[in-house]
């Protein structure tokens, strides 16, 4: 895949062909406010080079996006009064990804915001966890 995909909305934003409210940029990344913010200051961090998702992004661009996310998180806490941030990547349409140019969401959190965990924490089945561990690690235990 070329560095720029002419059909990609985030490539157009990176190239300045579509408007965005940029909050940070460097040689490898651009960060701009999400048009559908989960909370005030919700920012999308993208690599300048087009790549679809977490599985295809280079290690260097992934690192650059995370460092940019750290800068944006610090600023949200310092300047917006956020009490913390959630960092989120959706990888695959089955995992809520809708724009197929890798991005990290930086979601500032506020003491009284309405966001809640998308799962209900509960103890897992120990045998199932062990079986999953064996499959994922390649180590039968």
Residue with tokens 């300047």: 79
Q: Which does 101 bind (CB under 5 to 8 A by kind): Zn ion, ligand 5GP, none?
A: Zn ion
The Cα–Cα gap between 89 and 104 comes to 5
**Separation between Cα atoms, residue 104 and residue 90, nearest integer Å:** 8
- Picked from Zn ion, ligand 5GP, none, the partner binding residue 102 (CB below 5 to 8 A depending on kind) is none
Q: Which is nearer to ligand 5GP, 86 or 90 (CB)?
A: 90
**Phi, psi angle pair for 105, to nearest 5°:** -95, 130
Count CB atoms within 10 A of the CB of residue 97: 17
Cα 55 from Cα 62, distance rounded (Å): 10
Pick between residue 17 and residue 96 the one whose CB is nearest to ligand 5GP.
96
**Known catalytic membership, residue 101:** no
In the complex with Zn ion, the residue whose CB is nearer, 50 or 75, is 50
Cβ neighbors of 27 (< 8 A, separation 6 or more) are 48, 64
Least distance in angstroms from the C-beta of 110 to Zn ion: 31
28 contacts Zn ion (rule: CB under 5 A): no
Contact flags string 42-61 toward Zn ion, x per CB under 5 A: --------x-----------
Q: 50, 29 in Cβ contact below 8 A?
A: no
List the catalytic residue out of 42, 101, 103, 105. 103
For ligand 5GP, the binding residues (CB under 6 A) are 9, 20, 32-36, 44, 90, 96-99
Active site residues per annotation: 103
């Amino acid at each position: 895949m070329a560095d720029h995909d002419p059909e990609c909305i985030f490539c157009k934003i990176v190239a300045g062909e579509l408007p965005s409210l940029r909050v940070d940029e460097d040689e490898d990344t651009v960060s701009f406010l999400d048009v559908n913010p989960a909370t005030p200051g919700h920012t999308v961090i993208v690599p300048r080079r087009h790549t679809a998702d977490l599985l295809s992004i280079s290690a260097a661009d992934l690192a650059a996006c995370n460092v940019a996310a750290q800068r944006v998180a610090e600023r949200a806490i310092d300047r917006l009064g956020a009490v913390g941030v959630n960092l989120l990547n959706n990888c695959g349409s089955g995992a809520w990804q809708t724009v197929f140019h890798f991005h990290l969401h930086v979601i500032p959190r506020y003491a009284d915001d309405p966001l809640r965990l998308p799962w209900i924490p509960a103890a897992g089945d120990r045998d199932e966890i062990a079986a999953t561990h064996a499959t994922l690690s390649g180590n039968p235990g």
